Amino acid sequence: MRHKILTMASAALFAVGALATTATPAQAEWPDQQITFVVALGPGGSADRTARAVAQHLQEELDVPIRVINQKGGGGHVGHTYFLNMPDDGTFFLATSIHPYISNAILQADADYSLDNFAFVNGQWTDVDLFALNAELPYTSLDEFMAAIKENPGKMRISVVPGSTGYINTLQLLEAYDLSADDVNIVTYESGSAARTAAAGGQVDMTVLGADGSVSIAEYIRPLAIAANKRVASWDAPTLNEILAKHGKEVAPLVGSMRGIAAHATFKEKYPERFERFTNAYEAVLKDPAFVADLEKQGIGAEWLGPEETTEIIKSNFEVLERFKDISK
């Protein structure tokens, strides 16, 4: 009888093992239904174009249809909330400007969610600011220009757009050199185009604006630094922290709009193998030379940062936005 009981128990364990074995392929086959990308901004913009381009190729990599829907309103807040209320099983992803819109909604719109509710997959296309001088000025480095500010407080003029990342990065730059906003004349312009024109024409000494947008005035300005964690191909300039390292200083450079993808944090927790598969598929798509070339033709970035670096940038930038939130309004 004892042998029979053991035999029956063994059979039961075998059955459980068989069920577990059959469950693994089912997970490996994910996804088995349509995926939806939620864009928290309107159609036709840079975030929307990025999401649709990625969806078209990622659906081939995952072998499942991916549709893109727009849920705009409240500076992204409407779309973020809509996404978080959708199933967290991997059928919905937030494919939008994941930064700074989520952070701004938390800080400015009293959102009932936090950064911890999102599992950031990748920041694919990020705007970064360029610190650039009018080319006619004699200063050849950021250190030289900052020394001139100290020697002539209140004289040097810097153009920015109100509430922009350039404005905040300017304040961080001044702090790093033990200066304040009173030591310079910060001139605000309602558009980046006007602020660039002022720098190119010599109405101001320096401008702090998007690096990509400043390419059009390259012959009229001298690049001094990039507000990013690494250098960019379009400008021969060191990062701000490369320069500050010589002085034993470091800042968290505030980046501009980061178009990319995020999942539910609970999706990553409950289905880590699915999150990993999605991440690997997204990375594979962005490392396809033909697709990257196609994105470049459309003026769309194709950088792979990965979950860890993307999350680190967003969280460190959140602290900066929180500290300067009053000027972002």
Q: Do both 138 and 243 map to the same domain?
A: yes
Report the amino acid identity of residue 47. Answer: A
The pLDDT value given to residue 311: 98
Q: Do both 298 and 191 map to the same domain?
A: no
* Residue 122 DSSP class: E
Let me know if residue 17 belongs to a domain: no
Question: What's the domain count of the chain?
Answer: 2
Let me know if residue 194 belongs to a domain: yes
Which residues neighbour 2 within 8 Å (Cβ) at sequence distance 6 or greater? none
Q: Do both 164 and 118 map to the same domain?
A: no
Let me know if residue 10 belongs to a domain: no
Report the amino acid identity of residue 148. Answer: A
Contact 285, 61 (CB under 8 A): yes
List % helix, strand, coil for the chain (3-state, nearest 5). 50, 20, 30
Let me know if residue 72 belongs to a domain: yes
Q: Do both 122 and 109 map to the same domain?
A: yes
Cross-strand partners of 207: 132, 159
The pLDDT value given to residue 329: 56
CATH of the domain at 269: 3.40.190.150
The pLDDT value given to residue 328: 53
The pLDDT value given to residue 5: 43
Q: Do both 141 and 237 map to the same domain?
A: yes
Q: Do both 150 and 211 map to the same domain?
A: yes
CATH of the domain at 220: 3.40.190.10
* Residue 217 DSSP class: G
Task: Report how far residue 25's alpha carbon sits from residue 22's, in angstroms, rounded to the nearest whole number.
Answer: 6
Q: Do both 170 and 268 map to the same domain?
A: no
Q: Do both 135 and 241 map to the same domain?
A: yes
Let me know if residue 18 belongs to a domain: no
| Domain edge (last residue) among 247, 267, 292 | 247
| Domain edge (last residue) among 247, 279, 298 | 247
Contact 50, 44 (CB under 8 A): no
Let me know if residue 263 belongs to a domain: yes
Contact 41, 96 (CB under 8 A): yes
| Domain edge (last residue) among 216, 247, 278 | 247
Contact 213, 192 (CB under 8 A): yes
Q: Do both 290 and 278 map to the same domain?
A: yes
Range(s) of the domain holding residue 239? 129-247
Dihedral angle of Cα 231, 233, 235, 236, to the nearest 10 degrees = 70
Per-residue pLDDT of the chain (329 residues; tens, 9 = 90+): 444 444 444 444 444 444 444 444 445 568 889 999 999 999 999 999 999 999 999 999 999 999 999 999 999 999 999 999 999 999 999 999 999 999 999 998 889 999 999 999 999 999 999 999 999 999 999 999 999 999 999 999 999 998 889 999 999 999 999 999 999 999 999 899 999 999 999 999 999 999 998 999 999 999 999 999 999 989 999 999 999 999 999 999 999 999 999 999 999 999 999 999 999 999 999 999 999 999 999 989 999 999 999 999 999 999 999 999 887 55
Q: Do both 162 and 239 map to the same domain?
A: yes
Q: Do both 289 and 236 map to the same domain?
A: no
The pLDDT value given to residue 29: 65
The pLDDT value given to residue 327: 73
Let me know if residue 14 belongs to a domain: no
Task: Report how far residue 169's alpha carbon sits from residue 314's, in angstroms, rounded to the nearest whole number.
Answer: 15
Q: Do both 310 and 161 map to the same domain?
A: no
Let me know if residue 320 belongs to a domain: yes
